[in-house]
């Protein structure tokens, strides 16, 4: 769960991040008892507060929507990020430096050294981001400033997206970085300065260029994309920060921290080709737009988008390179079961030009008119195949089938096959055959979604509903075990771990609390359950953690719940035995099962 981060570091972040302060920064909370706070749930619309925060156990639970857990679970749900990102975001919030490779078997000193080096790189990038912003602002007649004016980007937008300009000098950044106390090697590693291989001479990487700050998912500046304002720049129109310990191009999306909120709210993301197109969509009201770094969209970036939205709109250029980029992105997005549409800009313009000429309404109309990705693929087929010949149409069907092989959902696959067959004017049966032919040729063992004429679905194991009273008994025992170390130890004597169960979160939580009591760390039981809820959210467990139910006679409640648990387990076992009895024809096995049923009675 810690992704290489030691438990000590995780616990330090948790201890520094008070849950009341954290959640109170998102929604107003009012005290509702000694250690309890209430407020309107930040995860669903409600008029009466049903969201409870327990300060003593550092847990929250909404009695309306059921969300609950600790500070990490809250940040994961609120920011719609994974545990690793939540960990780093909260670490930054409370001032904890996470050592690199800080697992149990790593060298702490080496991990701290790497962490300090990474932190220095973050500081280099932040300092130069401010330096570039000041350079842009302080030179109103410079080419970068005039370029922004020409593109219609006002000052407030430039400030929001942290656009700047590098001085038009070969060593201005080098000298400024050294004056701040950074070493030459730090400036080279960050990409602010480059070293000429032949002579070893140091020079500014972004000399005279317009700079766009690139931030990671936590909102920290990790590098820059810089645009040349020369007619034919020798190093290319755009250059980026080279790969570094903090700048991993394939895992970064431009403007993601600014786009994340609307992505979740609208369940949509717009993927553009570059920074200016992204900014244009934001200015038009579509603040869910992002762009990959460089020309290639990666699987890592696709998975990042999937965390925030299930609908993605591709807004690439209409030229051949843009069309190829669309289809490459489609290949990466299809396995993630995302709804993919393509935004076509009228007249072959790019989104930035469309916004400047037509304003927000023109951009909104282009988004509304977006078409499914399959339509784009089918429309491009005549450029590569003779659709009037059987062989050409067959090869075209093979190309489409190659994309559909990426789909993992059976329902989606069948619907796409229906559409593709209609578009290609062939039968669905013929298309299924083509899919199987390609699948067999590629020897793909994982394409189980394609059915065959004789395929018979594998029988699914029968699931049993929980026996009456089982859940109630387990929850009462969990409440008792959390509130009392003595009760937890007593329960370990009365019930085996198997009897308490490991098939659901409540059973695992109960066994975890008992283990904590036996190992002398019962005081950490709530934190242990918070860790469980990070990986396996369960409303029943988070509710127990904030409810603090009082028992008039805890000993009697414990005995009654154990008895109820055993009766429920007996009924559960009997139901399973009856199913086995109905499914066997072996007389000896039947007699053995009947004997077991009799013993249960």
CATH number of the domain where residue 29 is located: 3.90.580.10
Check whether residue 360 and residue 388 sit in a common domain: no
The reported pLDDT for the residue numbered 332 is: 93
Between CA 308 and CA 268 the distance in angstroms is 8
**Taking residues 85-114, what's their average pLDDT?**
73
Check whether residue 578 and residue 478 sit in a common domain: yes
The reported pLDDT for the residue numbered 452 is: 38
Which of 339, 362, 378 is the endpoint of a domain? Answer: 378
Between CA 411 and CA 192 the distance in angstroms is 50
Q: Residue 175 in 3-state DSSP? A: helix
- Whether pTM > 0.85 for this model: the answer is no
Check whether residue 206 and residue 264 sit in a common domain: no
Between CA 504 and CA 325 the distance in angstroms is 44
Structural domains in the chain (count): 5
Flag whether 102 is in a domain: no
Highest mean pLDDT among 32-41, 258-267, 268-277, 292-301 belongs to 268-277
**Taking residues 479-497, what's their average pLDDT?**
87
The reported pLDDT for the residue numbered 593 is: 66
The reported pLDDT for the residue numbered 588 is: 75
Residue 450: pLDDT band with limits 50, 70, 90: very low
**Residue 339, pLDDT above cutoff 50:** yes
**Residue 562, pLDDT above cutoff 70:** yes
pLDDT digits (tens, 9 = 90+) for 162-176: 999 999 999 999 999
Check whether residue 126 and residue 236 sit in a common domain: yes
**Residue 324, pLDDT above cutoff 60:** yes
Q: Looking at 48-52, 276-280, 526-530, which range is the least confident one?
A: 526-530
Highest mean pLDDT among 110-119, 187-196, 259-268 belongs to 187-196
The reported pLDDT for the residue numbered 373 is: 95
- Element holding 199 (H helix, E strand): none
Give the domain range for residue 20. Answer: 7-94
**Residue 466, pLDDT above cutoff 70:** no
Contact partners, residue 141, CB within 8 Å, separation at least 6: none
Q: In what order do the strands lie in the sheet with 210-215?
A: 163-165, 210-215, 221-227, 238-240
Check whether residue 122 and residue 71 sit in a common domain: no
Could you tell me the two tokens for 157?
């937008």
Query: Beta-carbon neighbour count of residue 164 at 10 Å?
Result: 26
Looking at residue 366, which CATH number applies to its domain? Answer: 3.40.1360.10
**Residue 436, pLDDT above cutoff 90:** no
Between CA 206 and CA 224 the distance in angstroms is 9
The reported pLDDT for the residue numbered 295 is: 58
How far from chain centre, in Å, is Cα 151?
34
How far from chain centre, in Å, is Cα 581?
46
Q: Which residue, 572, 513, 509, is CA-closest to 540? A: 509
Between CA 151 and CA 138 the distance in angstroms is 19
The reported pLDDT for the residue numbered 296 is: 81
Round the average pLDDT of the chain to a whole number and report it: 85
For residue 247, CA distances in Å to 40, 213, 229, 244, 251 come to 38, 12, 24, 5, 8
Check whether residue 239 and residue 308 sit in a common domain: no
For residue 113, CA distances in Å to 120, 372, 536 come to 11, 49, 34
Question: Exposed, middle or buried: residue 56 (CB in 10 Å: 0-12, 13-18, 19+)?
Answer: exposed
Residue 210: pLDDT band with limits 50, 70, 90: very high
Check whether residue 35 and residue 141 sit in a common domain: no
**Residue 459, pLDDT above cutoff 50:** no
Flag whether 218 is in a domain: yes
**Residue 449, pLDDT above cutoff 80:** no
Which has the higher per-residue pLDDT, 529 or 548? 529
Looking at residue 578, which CATH number applies to its domain? Answer: 1.10.860
Residue 453: pLDDT band with limits 50, 70, 90: very low
Looking at residue 162, which CATH number applies to its domain? Answer: 3.90.980.10
The reported pLDDT for the residue numbered 448 is: 41
Check whether residue 35 and residue 143 sit in a common domain: no
The reported pLDDT for the residue numbered 50 is: 93
Which of 363, 378, 393 is the endpoint of a domain? Answer: 378
Which has the higher per-residue pLDDT, 325 or 596? 325
Flag whether 593 is in a domain: yes
The reported pLDDT for the residue numbered 520 is: 86
DSSP codes joined into one string, 267-328: TEEEEESSHHHHHHHHHTT-TTEEEESSS---HHHHHHHHHH-SEEEEE--SSHHHHHHHHH
Residue 456: pLDDT band with limits 50, 70, 90: very low
Which has the higher per-residue pLDDT, 237 or 360? 360
The reported pLDDT for the residue numbered 114 is: 78
Flag whether 159 is in a domain: yes
The reported pLDDT for the residue numbered 547 is: 85
Flag whether 101 is in a domain: no
**Taking residues 322-346, what's their average pLDDT?**
91
Check whether residue 374 and residue 495 sit in a common domain: no
**Taking residues 20-33, what's their average pLDDT?**
89
Flag whether 460 is in a domain: no
Residue 494: pLDDT band with limits 50, 70, 90: confident
Could you tell me the two tokens for 395?
């090869």
Between CA 356 and CA 359 the distance in angstroms is 6
The reported pLDDT for the residue numbered 327 is: 92
The reported pLDDT for the residue numbered 463 is: 35
**Residue 462, pLDDT above cutoff 70:** no
Whole-number percent of the chain with pLDDT over 90: 44
Q: 148 with 210: CB under 8 angstroms?
A: yes
Which of 36, 67, 94 is the endpoint of a domain? Answer: 94
Between CA 560 and CA 442 the distance in angstroms is 61
Residue 447: pLDDT band with limits 50, 70, 90: very low
**Taking residues 250-257, what's their average pLDDT?**
92
**Taking residues 327-354, what's their average pLDDT?**
90
Q: Which residue, 191, 186, 209, 305, is CA-closest to 247? A: 191
**Residue 532, pLDDT above cutoff 90:** no
Residue 108: pLDDT band with limits 50, 70, 90: low
Calculate Rg over the CA atoms of the chain: 30
DSSP codes joined into one string, 509-562: HHHHHHHHHHTT-GGGHHHHHHHHHHHS--HHHHHHHHH----SSHHHHHHHHH
- For helices 428-441 and 410-424, give the axis angle rounded to 10 degrees: 120
**Residue 469, pLDDT above cutoff 60:** no
Check whether residue 525 and residue 539 sit in a common domain: yes
For residue 128, CA distances in Å to 120, 125, 175 come to 12, 5, 12
Q: Looking at 19-23, 93-97, 299-303, 490-494, which range is the least confident one?
A: 93-97
Flag whether 454 is in a domain: no
Q: 581 with 593: CB under 8 angstroms?
A: yes
For residue 315, CA distances in Å to 225, 263, 266, 285, 311 come to 19, 15, 17, 15, 13
Q: 157 with 172: CB under 8 angstroms?
A: no
**Taking residues 500-505, what's their average pLDDT?**
73
Check whether residue 292 and residue 369 sit in a common domain: yes
The reported pLDDT for the residue numbered 521 is: 86
DSSP label of 197: T
Highest mean pLDDT among 74-88, 245-259, 514-528 belongs to 245-259
Check whether residue 139 and residue 84 sit in a common domain: no
* Angle at CA of residue 223, ends 92 and 150, nearest 5°: 120
**Residue 454, pLDDT above cutoff 50:** no
The reported pLDDT for the residue numbered 205 is: 96
Flag whether 414 is in a domain: yes
Whole-number percent of the chain with pLDDT over 70: 90
**Residue 240, pLDDT above cutoff 50:** yes
**Residue 70, pLDDT above cutoff 70:** yes
Residue 470: pLDDT band with limits 50, 70, 90: low
Q: Which residues are registered as beta bridge partners of 60?
A: 53, 69
**Taking residues 436-463, what's their average pLDDT?**
45
């Amino acid at each position: 769960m810690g992704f290489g981060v030691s438990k000590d570091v995780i616990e330090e972040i948790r201890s520094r991040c008070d849950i009341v302060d954290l959640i109170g920064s998102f929604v107003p909370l009012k005290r509702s008892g000694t250690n309890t706070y209430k407020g309107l749930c930040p995860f669903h619309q409600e008029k009466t507060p049903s969201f409870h925060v327990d300060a003593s156990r550092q847990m929250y639970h909404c009695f309306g929507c059921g969300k609950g857990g600790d500070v990490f679970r809250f940040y994961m749900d609120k920011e719609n990020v994974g545990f690793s990102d939540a960990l780093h975001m909260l670490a930054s919030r409370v001032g904890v430096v996470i050592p690199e490779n800080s697992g149990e078997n790593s060298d702490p000193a080496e991990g701290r050294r790497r962490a300090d080096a990474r932190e220095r790189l973050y500081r280099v990038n932040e300092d130069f981001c401010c330096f570039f912003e000041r350079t842009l602002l302080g030179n109103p007649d410079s080419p970068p400033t005039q370029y922004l004016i020409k593109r219609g980007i006002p000052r407030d937008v430039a400030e929001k997206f942290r656009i700047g300009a590098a001085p038009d000098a070969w060593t201005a950044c080098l000298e400024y970085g050294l004056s701040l106390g950074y070493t030459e090697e730090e400036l080279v590693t960050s990409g602010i300065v480059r070293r000429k291989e032949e002579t070893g001479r140091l020079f500014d990487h972004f000399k005279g260029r317009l700079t766009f700050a690139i931030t990671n998912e936590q909102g920290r500046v990790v590098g820059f994309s810089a645009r040349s304002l020369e007619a034919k720049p020798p190093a290319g129109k755009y250059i980026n920060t080279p790969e570094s310990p903090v700048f991993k191009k394939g895992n970064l999306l431009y403007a993601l921290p600014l786009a994340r909120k609307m992505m979740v709210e609208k369940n949509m993301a717009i993927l553009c080709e570059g920074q200016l197109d992204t900014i244009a969509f934001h200015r038009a009201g579509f603040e869910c737009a992002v762009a990959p770094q460089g020309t290639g969209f990666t699987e890592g970036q696709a998975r990042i988008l999937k965390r925030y939205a299930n609908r993605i709109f591709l807004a690439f250029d209409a030229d051949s390179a843009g069309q190829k980029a669309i289809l490459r992105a489609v290949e990466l997005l299809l396995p993630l079961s995302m709804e993919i549409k393509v935004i076509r800009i009228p007249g072959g313009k790019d989104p930035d030009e469309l916004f400047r000429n037509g304003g927000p309404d023109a951009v909104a109309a282009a988004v509304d008119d977006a078409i499914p990705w399959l339509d784009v693929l089918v429309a491009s087929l005549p450029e590569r195949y003779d659709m009037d010949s059987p062989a050409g149409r067959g090869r075209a069907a093979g190309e489409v089938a190659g994309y559909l092989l990426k789909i993992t959902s059976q329902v989606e696959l069948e619907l796409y096959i229906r559409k593709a067959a209609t578009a290609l004017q062939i039968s669905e049966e013929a298309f299924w055959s083509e899919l199987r032919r390609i699948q067999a040729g590629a020897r793909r063992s994982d394409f189980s979604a394609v059915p065959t004429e004789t395929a018979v679905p594998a029988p699914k194991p029968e699931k049993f509903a929980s026996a009456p009273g089982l859940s109630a008994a387990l929850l009462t025992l969990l409440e008792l075990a959390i509130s009392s170390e003595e009760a937890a130890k007593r329960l370990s004597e009365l019930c085996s771990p198997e009897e308490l169960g490991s098939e659901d979160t409540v059973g695992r939580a109960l066994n975890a609390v008992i283990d904590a009591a036996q190992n002398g760390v019962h005081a950490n039981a709530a934190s242990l359950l918070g860790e469980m809820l990070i990986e396996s959210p369960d409303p029943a467990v988070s509710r127990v953690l904030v409810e603090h139910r009082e028992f008039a006679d805890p000993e009697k409640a414990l005995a009654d719940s154990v008895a109820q648990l055993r009766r429920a387990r007996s009924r559960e076992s009997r139901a399973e035995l009856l199913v086995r009895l109905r499914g066997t024809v072996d007389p000896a096995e039947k007699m053995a099962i009947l004997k077991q049923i009799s013993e249960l009675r």
